Structure 1
Amino acid sequence: QANRDNVLAATAALTTVIASLNNKTEEKRHRVKVPGFVVNTVPLFTIDEFRSRYRLTRSAFEFVLGELMKYELLNQHEEPTSSKGIPGDKQLLIFLDYIGHQCNQSELEVLYDVSAGKVNEIVHSLPRKIVPTLSSQFIKWPTELEAHTNAEGTLYHSGFPNVLGAIDGSHIEISTASSDFTTRKYRQAITLQAVASRNLLFYDVFVGCSGRMHDARVFQYSPLAAKVQTGENMYGLHLLGDGAYPLLNGLLTPFVDNGNLSNVQKQYNKHLSVARQVVERAFGQLKARFRRLRYIYQRDVPSICYTIVAACTLHNICILKNEASFEEDLDDLIDDYQDDQLAPQNNNQTTQQKRWAIAESL
């Protein structure tokens, strides 16, 4: 009798679970969508409401849309359940909503009255269209005039001479199943390496290396390493990095503090730290504007890389268009990532002498 009661109880429980699953499936099948949101509601947004939702002003949005349409990158997607295509402006709004927030794709499906498959297609395909065309236009190495203008501004604000830009790495947490991306803090992350100017413009970005990889090694993997080491297009200037980077003629780093630094060395480190903060601020503004970069719930690493570079491209467009930053979101974006492994010391006398000469001039 006891066994029979157990079987009946188990059967009843299983029936309840199946019924619950059926109800959820039925609910999903008949999910209520919002018709006409883009046509009827978005035009009524105030300036602040539009910017808060899409992380760009209407002016910047129209500029990006125009660039994408110019290159015929926004084709009309055909809905499986409808003969109507998805207009280009709607595709861009969906992508900006996705990259600007930590919302689920199902929320976008409901809000924009688009199938789940098409939402997924848009958020994955648009970055692959933005990067090959727009990224090369808006993330680019400075001209000699631009580089020296940046150096003059950096000298004025920090006292450090001949600075082309600052380099650093930032972790972007991801959800890939690969253990190769597990960091020393047991998070899964990919590293974004970037060079930023004094006005927080990205001159160069490199993404794809595991978050467990040290900054010096990421740097060596990047095409930037050869440029810095050969002096190509460095215009007699240099980058600034923290102690995780190698000391090179084109990349200056702090004196290692073993507790016995001279006042000259301490002063040099202080000026370098102030000048180098621009890249940290650039990362902060990037993640404040495009909240998806706080955590990218994707498993395909190439798609993740495209999404990150697309965000960097849009960041630069916003800088060039004098878009206001999202300062209110910066407080909770303190990046606790810091590569505490120092790069091997460079014994090259010319490079050492250059650093000492700058230190003694400050």
Structure 2
Amino acid sequence: MAKTTVKQDVVDILRARKALQIKKCRRFVKVVDLINHLEDLHLHTRFKDIPKRSQDSSQFSTKNLQLMFDTLIEEDPESKLLQKIENERYFFSRKIKGYKKRNVINDIEFVEAFLAQDEVKFRRGVRMGKEAFNALYETIKNDTIFVSKSGAHQRSIKLQMIVALTRLGLYGNGKSNKRLQTVFGIAHGTVDKYFERFQAAVLRLQSKYVHWPSCSERKKIIEKHYREYGLPDCLGFIDGSLISMYKGPGWHREKFFSRKMKYAMQSVFICDSDLRILYNESGHYRSMNDPGVMSYGIFHSKIDEYFEGKEYVVGDSAYKRTSWCIPIKKEGQDGGLTHSDEKFNYFLSQARVRVDHCFAALKGKFASLEVVQVTVNSRDDVLHMVKWLQLCSILHNFCLGYDTPSYIAELIDKFQKSHEDINKCFTVEYNRRVEFTDDAEGCDVEDAHDSNGIFNDETDSDTKWRALKERVLTEKGYSVAMSYGPQPPDDY
């Protein structure tokens, strides 16, 4: 059975009633016309001498009768109701409870009232301070996306920004259209429209705010990292992060299932000590690990362009030693950890933890990244998630110029505390599985060593790792002795 709407059902009923009225009127007119015809025959036979005009005046005019019926039908209330319904697009009123159509003055009053809040409440609402909000407005206000092609004026740009930023900062059902339409008194679809405009305007800023540093910028970053951590030629810190999906995808479902027992998209970030995102690559299956993303993604083809000389980034033990990556040494690698290896790992970890702080600040500010509510049924849906992440990354870097260190520290602290128990639970389960796998399958090829604990095939990357370790420990006043055993507690 074909699906119909309420409007179509009502129109069909009213049309049927009108057609029945017209049919009855036409039958009556035909009867009157037949009576007139019989009357003509009778008069013609009995009163031949009476003039034709006199005969016609004694009969009903069917033409006038038809016009009278047509007028009565059109004036009927049901006919007028039918005409009204057919001329309107929607049968029911689209007015939403609590929604009232605003004009320019209403928008100005709303924005002014919102900006009049104290800094804490304002930041809680749009996830940035007033200074950053106004600066962002000045940056995107002239974007063509905020100019309607139809010529009609859009709502206030600041109002659209408030709606979009509020959506980015909420978690779970809080950022749903129905919840936001109630909060802001706008239509359901308007929430999406405002968000899409804001997203398009901000994404055009990506080349300015999220980009690989230039030669002069890299020099400043390297100098800063050397002052703070004693790591020469260090450009940044690398790690991966999961962007969870709120339900299992319909497209390559099994490939997005992660070790944390949920469906997620894999992404890899490189940041500096200021938590500024230098590079972000996402859109990969969760079944691909962090090193896999960097080895087979876009980044791999740009290594020669991004790194010069001895420049490198610091990663965790999941990454391989390469010309551009200095990872933390694994426990079973190269015959085990020496005292100097543990010391060097400690200094690398002190610096590398900044990428974890970057994730905490990013997701702590924009809680929508915890679970992105996008139904993934195609590659285009994955790209939608990628754009969401890019949008938050751009805003993160933009706000770094305005956020105070205390506020950033507060974001990091709250995020890490809220995820501490969850991460501990998954880490224990994951480590148990890794230990079981290692016992069953043995060491990886790159971790193979002989009975004397000496690495069999030392590459240029291994040489670079050892040379950097020797330099860092020497400059910090530590010995580079290759001894094994427990680390003395007074070494740190």
Matched, 1:329 2:414: yes
Greater mean deviation of Cα atoms: 149-158 or 159-168: 149-158
1:348 offset after TM fit, Å? 5.6
Distance in structure 1 (CA, Å) of the matches to 2:385 and 2:326: 31
Secondary structure of residue in 1 paired with 2:316 = coil
Q: TM-score normalised to the size of structure 1?
A: 0.82
User: Where do 5+ consecutive residues of structure 1 fail to align?
Assistant: 1-25
Asked if the contact 1:138/1:316 (under 8 Å) is kept, the reply is yes
Partner residue in 2 for 1:190: 265
Distance in structure 1 (CA, Å) of the matches to 2:153 and 2:205: 28
- How many residues are aligned here? 330
Asked if the contact 1:76/1:88 (under 8 Å) is kept, the reply is no
Q: How does 1:47-66 map to 2 (within 5 A)?
A: 47-66=119-138
Matched, 1:276 2:352: yes
Bigger relative CO (Cα 8 Å, ≥ 6 apart):
1
Partner residue in 2 for 1:23: none
Among candidates 138, 161, 166, match of residue 97 of structure 1:
166
Partner residue in 1 for 2:364: 288
Among candidates 203, 227, 234, match of residue 163 of structure 1:
234
Matched, 1:309 2:378: no
Partner residue in 2 for 1:345: 446
Structure 1 segments, 4+ long, off by >4 Å, are: 34-37, 337-344
Percentage identity across aligned positions? 20
Secondary structure of residue in 2 paired with 1:203 = strand
Matched to 2:98, the amino acid is: V
Partner residue in 1 for 2:79: none
Asked if the contact 2:147/2:153 (under 8 Å) is kept, the reply is no
Deviations 1:124-173 (A, max 9, x none): 45324422x11111001112232222222222322322210001111111
Partner residue in 2 for 1:122: 194
User: Where do 5+ consecutive residues of structure 2 fail to align?
Assistant: 1-91, 376-380, 435-442, 448-456, 474-492
Distance in structure 1 (CA, Å) of the matches to 2:246 and 2:358: 24
Asked if the contact 1:165/1:198 (under 8 Å) is kept, the reply is yes
Are residues 115 and 234 of structure 1, via their aligned partners in 2, closer, same or farther at CA, if it must alter by over 3 Å? farther
Deviations 1:226-249 (A, max 9, x none): 333x36444531111112222111
Q: How does 1:123-138 map to 2 (within 5 A)?
A: 123-131=195-203, 133-138=204-209
Deviations 1:31-87 (A, max 9, x none): 324775834631331122111111111111122122222332323599xxxx87322
Are residues 31 and 301 of structure 1, via their aligned partners in 2, closer, same or farther at CA, if it must alter by over 3 Å? farther
Deviations 1:182-224 (A, max 9, x none): 2133201112211000111001111111222211111123322
Are residues 39 and 158 of structure 1, via their aligned partners in 2, closer, same or farther at CA, if it must alter by over 3 Å? closer
Asked if the contact 1:76/1:86 (under 8 Å) is kept, the reply is no
Greater mean deviation of Cα atoms: 284-293 or 176-185: 176-185
Distance in structure 1 (CA, Å) of the matches to 2:166 and 2:395: 13
Secondary structure of residue in 1 paired with 2:231 = coil
Matched, 1:260 2:336: yes
Matched, 1:69 2:138: no
Among candidates 462, 466, 469, match of residue 356 of structure 1:
466
Deviations 1:102-139 (A, max 9, x none): 212212112222211121233345324422x1111100
Deviations 1:275-321 (A, max 9, x none): 11111101100011111111111113221111111000000001133
Distance in structure 1 (CA, Å) of the matches to 2:355 and 2:444: 19
Distance in structure 2 (CA, Å) of the matches to 1:213 and 1:29: 48
Matched, 1:112 2:184: yes
Greater mean deviation of Cα atoms: 212-221 or 311-320: 212-221
1:29 offset after TM fit, Å? 6.9
Greater mean deviation of Cα atoms: 91-100 or 38-47: 38-47
Matched to 1:345, the amino acid is: E
Q: TM-score normalised to the size of structure 2?
A: 0.61
Are residues 291 and 135 of structure 1, via their aligned partners in 2, closer, same or farther at CA, if it must alter by over 3 Å? same
Cα-Cα RMSD: 2.8
Matched, 1:220 2:321: no
Distance in structure 2 (CA, Å) of the matches to 1:233 and 1:350: 16
Distance in structure 2 (CA, Å) of the matches to 1:145 and 1:201: 16
Matched to 2:418, the amino acid is: D
